[in-house]
Amino acid sequence: MLTIFTIPKPFNGHIGLIQRNAICSWRRLGPSVRIILLGHDAGVAEAAREYGTEHEPDIALTEYGTPLVSDAFARARRLTAEGTLMFTNCDMIYFDDLLAAVAAVPFDQFMLCGRRWDLDVTEALSSGEAFSWEKLIKEYARRGKLHAPSALDFFIFPRAMDMAMPPLVVGRWGWDSWLMWNLRSRGIPVIDATGTITALHQNHDYTQLKFGASQYTGPEMLINYRLAGGYRNMLGLREADWVMPQGVVCRPPWPGRIFSLMGPTIPYRLALSVKRHCQKKIKALLNGQ
């Protein structure tokens, strides 16, 4: 059993459309997939009833009203007795290769994640209309753009594995990078399944966020930064110690293997921290700050 849990944004306008598309795609994966919508933003309860998913309205919030991703992980574990869990952003579309990838993992403890493909989607999709999904796949193959490995939108892991997360804020920079460091530092296999899982991200703006696109520089980003312990405790998909090309788990090929070997080491993490601080200062200077 795969349990997908997510924290939807309010179901308004274009973001509402793409969130419904995402849930439809999860529904198409079949009866072995359980779906839990967390939070009580506008339209979440109605969407749960419409698509026959579970709804957990209670979730811890920051003083700004933003859900804590750490609480979402903890609640999903409490609501699930066994099997595999998957946290995903609610704008992500998946296909049958997702279940095949989960079944191919040979470890008892693991984290399965991967890069996403960005695509403009403006049409509503129905779980029962095969033509719409065939059209979407053609559009993804023709116009989809593979996103940088720095942004992660889904995490798949066994229910029995405790993340031991501090109270990190969802949708704000840094929590996913901290999670990658946490797992690598604990010796838990991190698998980059970009070569197997088709993760389709529906492009959108950030007008629905309290701080807009400044989620990357606002006060909630600083919360994540402090709780993570700074840049030195943040890694990305590049430092994954396993990959899954075409459904087979193996070590990363050289020279990528170098990053996976050095990722957990203190010298590498300190060098990465210095690099990120320099990038931040350069960006601030370019923006006249």
If you write DSSP's letter for every residue of 149-218 in order, what string do you get?
TT---EEEEETT------SPBTTSTTHHHHHHHHHHHTT--EEE-TTT---EEE---STTSTTGGGGGTS
Q: What is the pLDDT of residue 288?
A: 61
The Cα 166–Cα 74 span in angstroms is: 11
Residue % of the chain over a pLDDT of 70: 93
Spatial contact of 146 and 117, defined as CB atoms under 8 Å apart:
yes
With a cut of 90, say whether residue 243 has pLDDT above it. yes
pLDDT tens sequence across 47-58: 999 999 999 999
272 pLDDT tier (thresholds 50, 70, 90): confident
Question: Residues 163-202: pLDDT tens digits?
Answer: 889 999 998 888 999 999 999 999 999 999 999 999 999 9
Which candidate, 37, 43, 52, 29, places its Cα nearest to that of 7? 37
pLDDT of residue 209: 54
Give me the CATH code for the 2-247 domain, please: 3.90.550.10
Q: What is the mean pLDDT of residues 139-162?
A: 90
Instruction: State the pLDDT at residue 89.
Output: 95
Distance CA 26, CA 20 (A): 10
Express each pLDDT in 203-226 by its tens digit. 977 665 554 555 556 788 888 889
Break the chain into its structural domains and give their ranges: 2-247
Q: What is the pTM of this model?
A: 0.91
Strand ranges for 12-167 from DSSP E: 33-38, 54-56, 84-88, 92-93, 111-113, 117-119, 145-146, 154-158
Q: Tokens representing 161?
A: 């594995």
